[in-house]
């Protein structure tokens, strides 16, 4: 999952847990929160923290292969729309 997110411009902190902290590719302020809301509109729930150091990051839990593919497809759609 980290490799797939990296291919989309995200930067992931090393993790040994069942989630990744992924920094959203920079474009403009508020992009991480907009991606969170766009994913939620598609029924995909991740975490975003409204804290200074984490506002540009998303906490993404690792799911099944199918769930991960659904998330990546949704991210692709949203990123093309410049969310």
Residue pLDDT, tens place only, 41-58: 999 999 999 999 999 999
pLDDT tens string for the chain (83 positions)?
999 999 999 999 999 999 999 999 887 789 999 999 999 999 999 999 999 999 999 999 999 999 999 999 999 999 999 77
Residue 40: what pLDDT? Answer: 98
User: Looking at the domain 2-80, which fold is it?
Assistant: 3.90.1150
Beta bridge partners of 60: 20
**Strands (E) located in the chain:** 11-12, 19-23, 57-61
Residue 44: what pLDDT? Answer: 97
Residue-range domain boundaries for the chain: 2-80
């Amino acid at each position: 999952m980290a490799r797939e997110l990296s291919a989309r411009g995200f930067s992931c902190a090393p993790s040994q847990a069942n989630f990744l902290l992924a920094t959203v590719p920079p474009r403009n302020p508020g992009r991480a929160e907009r991606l969170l809301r766009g994913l939620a509109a598609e029924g995909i729930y991740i975490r975003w923290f409204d804290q200074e150091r984490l506002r540009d990051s998303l906490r993404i839990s690792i799911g099944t292969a199918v769930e991960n593919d659904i998330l990546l497809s949704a991210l692709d759609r949203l990123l093309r729309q410049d969310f």
